[in-house]
Amino acid sequence: MQLKMALAGNPNAGKTTLFNQLTGARQHVGNYPGITVDHKEGHLHYQDQKIIITDLPGTYSMTAYSAEELVARDYLVYNRPQVVINIVDASNLERNLYLTCQLLELGAPLVVALNMVDVAKARGIEINATVLAKHLQVPVVPIIARSGFGKDELLRVALQVASTHQQWNPLNISYGDDLDSTLPELIEIITAESLLTDTYHARYTAIKYLENDEQIQAKGRETAPKTAQLLEQLVDESTEHTRRTLDVYPEAIIADHRYGYIKSLLRQGVITRKFDADRLYTSDKIDKILTNRLIGPVLMLAILFALYQFTFSWSEAPVAWLSNAFNWLGNLVEEKLPDGILKSLVISGIIDGVGGVLGFIPLIMFMFFGIAILEDSGYLARVAFMMDRIFRIFGLHGSSVMPFIVSGGIAGGCAVPGVMATRTLRSPKERMATLLTVPFMNCGAKLPVLALLIGTFFGENKAKYMFFFTMLAWIVAMLAAKLLRSTVLRGDPTPFVMELPPYRFPTIRGLCIHTWERTYQYVKKAGTVILGISILLWAMMTFPALPEQVSISFDQKRQAALDTAAPETIGEQKTKNESSSEQVKAFDKTIALINNEEAEAALRHSIAGKIGTSMESVSLLAGFDWRTDIALIGGFAAKEVIVSTLGTAYSMGQVDAEDSQSLSDRLKQDSNWNRVVAVAALVFIMFYSPCFVTLVCIAKEASWKWAAFSMTFNTIFAYILAVAVFQIGTFFNLG
């Protein structure tokens, strides 16, 4: 007796290749669907058994959607092969199993040929055939159709299945409540009327009715019109119901449940992705060291320190170039523009203001580049993981770590996305505690201030001080969080599970894109918001101008100086360019002092000056003079403005354009500034009220009440800290 064997599978699963291997025939092998539209037959002998083997057209499904599907299904149900070899592409298992699922529903005696295991392996996919067989409840044989590997085993198993002459035994899977309750009704009618039962199982016919299978519907109408009408009516009702309740057709529900069946089956340990496993394995090994309880945090600190070292040392030269460029620009304008308001606006408002911010671009870029490496490699996730242990102590949650890092935990973030990132926290109290403390981090806007003051007063150890101020930000944030969590936000901690993605090598492209994105944000802000605020503050520092009689009195002073210094000689020597003369030097100095006095008087007289001086009595406790006060008020609008405002405030008292000094030099020479004041100022700037945009964000995420709380609480807190630093520092004479 001849044995009938059929090959079924998705297009390109390798049916024809296997067919040729088994029969020795030379059928056309194509790697596009539709090459085999009709079925081809071949013969082979195996263990004295004559076998007719049929290569069915490739199909993804067993519903009458296309000619191929019909050919394949009709062949199976009318010819009833003793065994069907379902060839599946192992490198694309999930999709291929959709057909397998339908073959199982049909009930045909099945053997799964797990083809292309070579391709799968090359892609790092390993499939456990034994487990798959166990869950499908049919034999699974791994093969490589192209080389013939596994073909004998496949034939052996196929013959074994064929020899049992088993009844077609359809797989019953659930299609969800709605359809599962309709199916028995349909099955009852189909069985009672024996509709198509010699070809299909009653359940299969019922499913096909629900799937709106035109071929089966037509066959039904042909053989038993009344029954068919009844069935169609029931199906219509069911369709109407699912349309109304779920807004889908039953076919879609059925397909979904088939995929669900496959998915849950594959989840039982059928597939292991070997490359991933490899990567996970190396990742795990790296993590054993990098996230080790003792070595991990030490390495983390070392890495951070290295980052600052890298940033400051590499950016030093470019920062100097840019700063020189802005000085040059300032001098150029000084020469070309006539004295007056416009000149003052361009130099003090725009160049000193925006230039002060833009001058730090190289520093920001190097910092962002370093952070991009940490982020893209997956190390940042480890930082979060390690910080989680510490966070718990302070009443925060593991999910709080990312908001902190985003806000500038390593330096150079922004509290606005940081505040928004707290949305991942479920517990409202942990979320509030996080939201209120993330603005303590050193965001990108505070970086220039840090860089300026550290560079000016602690120039020899920039990286060390940067590291120190970063640590300080964390410590203060943690303590503030603890304070909040044990007072206004008291409550229990919630559990946290952290996933660590495997490490990967960052790509240069990725790094550049990340660096550029963030740097661009910074540049854009400097060009728009900062420019606007800078001009506004300049106006506040310029107007109202000194009353006329005061201006005149300064003019008189200058004239008097000129008179006493024997004007003829001065004029003579100036034209001869003998500027080295003692006499001229003394004269210039006198004039400069008078100019300075006038500029200071003008600044004091301005709106900003009045505000600044009115605050001085309070702020001097922390060592801040009225000019610094002006900058700090500006910083409330945006922290970048602190540097630019200091620049403007101190450039307005500028002595002489010819020995134009950098802000850093001016601060160094100013009697109001020293190391202690610098630290007090830094502490205040780091912890006082979040900038306006952040406050709006806090208000949106929480409420205006919390935003107001954040503003006052932080400012008072920062003030107390700054006063403490200044008083203690001054007492021990550390300035």
User: Which spans of this chain sit near ligand GDP (rule: CB under 6 A)?
Assistant: 9, 11-17, 29-31, 36, 58, 115-116, 118-119, 144-146
How far apart are CB 72 and Mg ion at their closest, in Å? 12
Give the span between the Cα atoms of 377 and 134, in whole angstroms: 40
Work out what residue 694 binds among ligand GDP, Mg ion, none; the CB cut-off runs from 5 to 8 Å by kind.
none
12 lines the binding site for Mg ion (CB under 5 A): no
How far apart are CB 35 and Mg ion at their closest, in Å? 5
Is the CB of 12 or the CB of 86 nearer to ligand GDP? 12
Contact 103, 84 (CB under 8 A): yes
How far apart are CB 247 and ligand GDP at their closest, in Å? 36
Q: Between helices 626-637 and 675-687, what is the axis angle to 10°?
A: 20
Give the span between the Cα atoms of 648 and 630, in whole angstroms: 10
Is the CB of 145 or the CB of 216 nearer to ligand GDP? 145
16 lines the binding site for Mg ion (CB under 5 A): yes
Is the CB of 28 or the CB of 165 nearer to Mg ion? 28
How far apart are CB 11 and ligand GDP at their closest, in Å? 5
Tokens representing 11 are 């297009």
Work out what residue 408 binds among ligand GDP, Mg ion, none; the CB cut-off runs from 5 to 8 Å by kind.
none
Is the CB of 40 or the CB of 258 nearer to ligand GDP? 40
311 lines the binding site for Mg ion (CB under 5 A): no
Work out what residue 12 binds among ligand GDP, Mg ion, none; the CB cut-off runs from 5 to 8 Å by kind.
ligand GDP
Is the CB of 116 or the CB of 411 nearer to Mg ion? 116
Dihedral over Cα of 580, 585, 587, 592: its sign:
positive
Tokens representing 722 are 């700054």
Q: Which residues pair with 85 in a beta bridge?
A: 7, 111
How far apart are CB 38 and Mg ion at their closest, in Å? 11
Q: Is 27 left (phi over 0), alpha (psi -120 to 50) or beta?
A: beta
Is the CB of 271 or the CB of 480 nearer to ligand GDP? 271
How far apart are CB 34 and ligand GDP at their closest, in Å? 9
How far apart are CB 116 and ligand GDP at their closest, in Å? 4
Tell me the site size for Mg ion, rule CB under 5 A: 3
Work out what residue 59 binds among Mg ion, ligand GDP, none; the CB cut-off runs from 5 to 8 Å by kind.
none
Chain residues 30-69 in contact with Mg ion, contact rule CB under 5 A:
35-36
How far apart are CB 16 and Mg ion at their closest, in Å? 3
Is the CB of 19 or the CB of 522 nearer to ligand GDP? 19
Between the alpha carbon of residue 5 and those of residues 57, 83, 726, the distances in Å are 14, 5, 92
Work out what residue 52 binds among ligand GDP, Mg ion, none; the CB cut-off runs from 5 to 8 Å by kind.
none
Torsions phi, psi for 211 (to 5 deg): -80, 0
Q: Print burial letters for 395-427: b (CB count within 10 Å at least 16), e (below 16).
A: bbbbbbbbbbbbbbbbbbbbbbebbebbeebeb
Dihedral of the alpha carbons of 420, 425, 426, 431, in degrees to the nearest 10: -80
Look-up of token digits 């397998």: 100
Work out what residue 118 binds among ligand GDP, Mg ion, none; the CB cut-off runs from 5 to 8 Å by kind.
ligand GDP
How far apart are CB 194 and Mg ion at their closest, in Å? 37
Give the span between the Cα atoms of 287 and 30, in whole angstroms: 47
Is the CB of 27 or the CB of 212 nearer to Mg ion? 27
- Tally of CB atoms within 10 A around 184: 11
How far apart are CB 29 and Mg ion at their closest, in Å? 6
Give the span between the Cα atoms of 228 and 195, in whole angstroms: 9
Nearest residue to Mg ion by CB is: 16
Work out what residue 17 binds among ligand GDP, Mg ion, none; the CB cut-off runs from 5 to 8 Å by kind.
ligand GDP
Comparing C-alpha atoms, which of 78, 2, 80, 6 is closest to residue 36? 6
Contact 114, 151 (CB under 8 A): no
Torsions phi, psi for 272 (to 5 deg): -125, 130
How far apart are CB 27 and ligand GDP at their closest, in Å? 8
Comparing C-alpha atoms, which of 223, 261, 222, 253 is closest to residue 235? 253
Is the CB of 146 or the CB of 482 nearer to ligand GDP? 146
Is the CB of 56 or the CB of 410 nearer to Mg ion? 56
Work out what residue 115 binds among Mg ion, ligand GDP, none; the CB cut-off runs from 5 to 8 Å by kind.
ligand GDP
Contact 697, 419 (CB under 8 A): yes
Comparing C-alpha atoms, which of 724, 713, 726, 725 is closest to residue 687? 713
Work out what residue 102 binds among ligand GDP, Mg ion, none; the CB cut-off runs from 5 to 8 Å by kind.
none
Is the CB of 76 or the CB of 453 nearer to ligand GDP? 76
Work out what residue 31 binds among Mg ion, ligand GDP, none; the CB cut-off runs from 5 to 8 Å by kind.
ligand GDP
Footprint of Mg ion (CB under 5 A)? 16, 35-36
